[in-house]
Structure 1
Amino acid sequence: MGVSTFMDKIKPGKAESQFSSQAATPARADSTTVEKDNLTLDDSPVKYLTWRSFILGLCVSMGGFIFGYSTGQIAGFTTMIDFKQRFAEYNAATGEYAFSNVRNGLIVGLLSIGTMIGALVAAPIADRIGRKYSISFWALLHIVGIIVQIATTDKWYQIALGRWVAGLGVGALSSVVPMYQSESAPRQVRGAMVSAFQLFVAFGIFISYIVNFGTETLENAASWRITMGIGFAWPLILGIGTLFLPESPRFAYRHGRTEEAHDVMCKLYGVPRNHRVVAQEMADMKQKLEEELAHGNAPWQEVFTGPRMMHRILLGIALQSLQQLTGANFIFYYGTSIFQGIGLSNSYVTSIILGAVNFGMTLPGLYIVEHYGRRKCLMYGAAWMFVCFMIWASVGHEILNNNPSSHPAGVAMIVFTCFFIVGFATTWGPIVWAICGEMYPFKYRAVCMGVATAANWTWNFLISFFTPFISNTIDFRYGYVFAACCFLAILVVFFFVNETQGRTLEEVDTMYVLHVKPWKSAGWVPPRVSLPTCTDLPPGAARRVRPALVSTSTTMTLRKFARSNVMMAERISHIARRSRGCFFKKILCS
């Protein structure tokens, strides 16, 4: 993919790069696990993307494909003739089969109940057996759910139960996969790699629409069983493929497999063992682990009472909830029924168009997340979706309610639905997963990711279950509800979400602990001490200098930190929560 100037930001010799807002972690004394002095470290340029990191991101993102395929296929099933004859209720007055609001809501929504539970129980399993093996386990469970569904002939509750079991796997994967990606990806592509999860969600939705379009004219069980049967392929690819991938380097390091973690990072970065970027990330992991060990085994409630943990948990819940409350899955779940209801001749074709827009626009989202930052993209995206839903709801309520056959109004609905999907696919779709994978410390990451993802699926269920009731009551004015949520999302991002572009996971943790103001976070500089150079020493002094170390513990508070030109200011003080004194090491000369 080419070579970037990434290392130019890391070299400590250039003061302006060292203190840039996008600078990588400068060299520190604890990187001596790889070096005896700074001269032995390799400062060669780092490739922006290596084949190993690309394949890793591609394979595990199949978890997102399973998510999207399960979400998209049900929208077509509920309008298929054979599916309705087998699982819907017969209306003697009209002579047709139709789903009641309750039955329709349960069949569509029980997947989300399963995913909510799966997201919560995935955390202890991922912490016990590792990230990659838990991914394979949950992929296998999803296959069991498909078998339960495809085996029935006329029991609607078996379809609902099968979707619940399949949902356990989908929910767990939606928690563990972004976690694995964020812990493994090189920092310069971490946002794009985690966002690839959403790209595959969109791809899965799109493929399910295409398969449904190809089978909906069949007048037997093959119309829906073919779509379900193809669903076996995706968890098989994920479950088997993940076994050949390395374990998350941060998980391996925390379980005493230091050499394995070091080797994995070297391969993913595509650099030699003595490269500076790997030495510094290993040093960060070592420092965080030593600080946690010094404090002993923390009680479980520290997930909520630890430094800024409650703030981050609530923020993760808010972001995942708002991702659903933008209204995207309202479109994906009920899009076929909506466009069929306004008189379009083939609503399946319309769904394919929407799916193609969703998938196609998620691709530039991978570029946007790494080049324009998280905060700006989320705020601009929410504002765009707010405008789209206001127009969508107004056209639907004012025109289509009175004249359902209005062709111009129908076209306007489709156009602004596409505009909405463009905004969602490039911003809130992928970026929320990236942010939630970045802002938690390793010790609590699995639990916090599970809680945040469970919030996503809780709202997913509420929207899918109650939409038939709400739409029948307030018609297209339902769009105003989602518009209001998009406006709320702008405020949440501005006041609470930090900019994490280009940061290591350990720096992101420190940023939250130090109460960095979100609207100033893009220019925040990590609390480091610049390294003395040989030319700064008096005559006769040694030529090997160990730099001063400033601990960036998650249990301390930064009191004063300033910049003067490109030099660190004189005083840095911080208070340790469970220890005494400062964590400064003297500069040693020999």
Structure 2
Amino acid sequence: MGLFKSQRFSDIKAVASGPVIAIGLTASMGGFLFGADTGQISGFLIMRDFLRRFAQFKPEEEEKNGVPYGFNNVREGLVVGLLSIGCLIGALIAAPISNRLGRRMAMISLCGVFLVGNTIQIASFHAWYQVAIGRFICGLAVGGLSVLVPVYVSETVPKQIRGALVATYQLFVTMGILTSYCVNLGTSHVDDGPWSWRGALMIGYLWALILMGGMFILPETPRYLLSQGRKDDCIKALKWIAGKKNKGNQALIESQYQEMSSMIHEEKSFAKKSFFSSFDPKDKVMYRTILGFALQMFQQLTGANYFFYYGTTIFQSVGLTNPYVTQIILGSVNVVSTFPGLWFIERYGRRKPLIFGGLWQCAWLIVFAVVGSECDQNSKTVGSVLIFSACMFIFGFASTWGPGVWVAIGEIFPLRVRSHSASFATAGNWSWNFLLAFFTPYITSSIGYRYGYVFAGCNLIGVLIVFFFYYESSNLTLEQVDQMYTDPDTKPWKSSSWVPKGYSSRREAAEDEKERADINAGLREDGRTQHIENADRQGSMDSHTTKESTNAI
């Protein structure tokens, strides 16, 4: 086992080229945009100038807010939640846009949409609905990017580090949230006027421009290029992604090209697909689409945004004089906890982190609900326990369900419906994001901290869904994941033992692939006989196709 871990680390190191890392970091700025918007609005709701301009006149609120203004539940829910409605629509339209323009150009276009929405918010003076409309337009971009970033990364980077780089999207979401908390703290001290919130919004231009500029440099995904018949462009993209250190390893590029070519050829044997093709019961396509929707829905129902959207009001009993400090505490835990999450996904696979993470979250939500509803809320000790249990919950979420669900969305769908199914699945995230953002003020005013019991129950349901329906896809290519889901003899709770045909274990498949690449590259001159056997076992393409693609390289 130690030898395999060492070999696996060596494999990861071998494929982790500079371009691969650049792809993961640049594309994940789409997550940063979402995190930045989420963190901003929670701070704006307590800024005095924002309240004076957009809230209702409420003299009784002056002691709490510093000004005689406050939001009612409807207006607050709409200002907070319309971003999620925009995200929902953006997620649904991302598929047809990306299929027509390509993943890369679609992401660039969505960055432009974000800049427009941000400008509308900055230009607001007294109309609260103008802020809400601007957030809705920003949501169109953020929702579309939430679909395309995992798809782009999954279709571009090698499988050895695919999980970690797709999960980087969630890491950037947490970094965006924390950055906005810090920006809000800074602008609130610099100016008590309109620049307290306009300044924070203007900084948002920077994040969108970084993503837009980076995507102009990065290539289109090889899988998309090949699916459009652009073979030469596909090979160029594979060479660029391989980087300088793998520039001479034609076997690695050839292996990736042939695997994609074989699967895409099979996909094209099907009729042209529409959005409704995602609900075709054949090959468990509908199964996987609904599973993706359920995973995204229960990621929201874990209760994470309960703390991120309304954290400043939840912990008033803690006695912190500056509510921004509470935000920064929660945001810091969120960011730091995501790093072990990236390791969990690569070390323990996809299913185990979600199962044990859900149980961990459930336990701490019960502690939160019991202490908050049954103990003296005016006690600082009780307040400290509440914020500690919230931090423990966020640790679990950020290291399991936060990144884990985005990894699942990038892996479980077959190529022919990947964009459509990912759009529908991600719509589950944004629709429930809005429902929670809009109705939480009503619910908390009615049941208070007992809301934690509701989320605890949802975490248990999420665990059951993962156990009974979600397949283990770690250390498999996207094409092999598709084969696993269509294997009638494989059950989700036993899927970790599934291996590609011709192998006795995934370990053997990974080692054999590395050995085959080394032999093809001429690194093992004495292993050519074994290479032929391995190539046969992998089901290589006919000699004419192999020769043609090799010459192209």
TM above 0.5, yes or no, is yes
Contact 1:266 1:273 in 2 (8 A): no
Q: Report matched runs for 1:202-281 at 5 Å.
A: 202-217=174-189, 218-270=191-243, 271-272=246-247, 275-281=250-256
Amino acid aligned to 2:309: Y
What's 1:417 paired with? 390
What's 2:475 paired with? 502
TM-aligned CA distance change 1:153 to 1:341, over 3 Å: farther
Q: 1:212-271 deviations in whole A, cap 9, x for unaligned?
A: 112224321111111111111111111121011011010111111223223322443442
What's 1:288 paired with? 263
Separation in 2, partners of 1:239, 1:263: 21
Q: Secondary structure in 2 aligned to 1:528?
A: coil
Q: 1:423-473 deviations in whole A, cap 9, x for unaligned?
A: 011111111101110011111111111111111000000000000000001
Contact 1:191 1:370 in 2 (8 A): yes
Amino acid aligned to 1:351: Q
Separation in 2, partners of 1:145, 1:73: 14
TM-aligned CA distance change 1:45 to 1:304, over 3 Å: closer
What's 1:55 paired with? 22
Separation in 2, partners of 1:60, 1:47: 21
What's 1:175 paired with? 147
Answer yes or no: is 1:468 the counterpart of 2:441.
Answer: yes
Deviation at 1:8, TM superposition (A): 6.1
Separation in 2, partners of 1:46, 1:228: 39
Question: 1:66 pairs with 33, 44, 64, which one?
Answer: 33
Separation in 2, partners of 1:312, 1:373: 18
Separation in 2, partners of 1:237, 1:299: 33
Deviation at 1:547, TM superposition (A): 5.7
Q: 1:343-402 deviations in whole A, cap 9, x for unaligned?
A: 432221011011011011111211221111111111111010000100001111111xxx
TM-score by length of 2: 0.87
TM-aligned CA distance change 1:313 to 1:551, over 3 Å: farther
Q: Which runs of 5 or more residues in structure 1 are unaligned?
A: 10-21, 23-42, 534-540, 553-582, 584-590
Q: Secondary structure in 1 aligned to 2:434?
A: helix
Contact 1:340 1:346 in 2 (8 A): no
Contact 1:382 1:486 in 2 (8 A): yes
Separation in 2, partners of 1:529, 1:522: 14
Answer yes or no: is 1:521 the counterpart of 2:521.
Answer: no
Contact 1:113 1:458 in 2 (8 A): yes
Contact 2:357 2:400 in 1 (8 A): yes
Q: Report matched runs for 1:133-144 at 5 Å.
A: 133-144=105-116
What's 1:355 paired with? 331
Question: 1:437 pairs with 410, 418, 425, which one?
Answer: 410
Q: Which runs of 5 or more residues in structure 2 are unaligned?
A: 63-67, 505-511, 517-528, 543-553
Separation in 1, partners of 2:129, 2:535: 66
Contact 2:296 2:428 in 1 (8 A): yes
Separation in 2, partners of 1:544, 1:205: 52
Contact 1:118 1:170 in 2 (8 A): yes
Say what the alpha-carbon RMSD is for the aligned residues: 2.7
What's 1:39 paired with? none
TM-aligned CA distance change 1:492 to 1:240, over 3 Å: same
Question: 2:432 pairs with 439, 459, 463, which one?
Answer: 459
Separation in 1, partners of 2:237, 2:459: 40
What's 2:162 paired with? 190
Answer yes or no: is 1:377 the counterpart of 2:344.
Answer: no
TM-aligned CA distance change 1:545 to 1:185, over 3 Å: closer
Q: Secondary structure in 1 aligned to 2:57?
A: strand
Answer yes or no: is 1:85 the counterpart of 2:59.
Answer: no
Answer yes or no: is 1:297 the counterpart of 2:264.
Answer: no
TM-score by length of 1: 0.81
Amino acid aligned to 2:427: A
Q: 1:55-88 deviations in whole A, cap 9, x for unaligned?
A: 1111111111001000111001111111111111
Separation in 1, partners of 2:374, 2:498: 48
Deviation at 1:194, TM superposition (A): 0.4
Separation in 1, partners of 2:248, 2:415: 24
Q: 1:170-225 deviations in whole A, cap 9, x for unaligned?
A: 10011111110110011100000000000000000000001111222432111111
Separation in 1, partners of 2:6, 2:386: 48
Q: Secondary structure in 2 aligned to 1:184?
A: coil
Contact 1:263 1:273 in 2 (8 A): no
Q: Secondary structure in 2 aligned to 1:290?
A: helix
Paired residues, what number?
Answer: 507
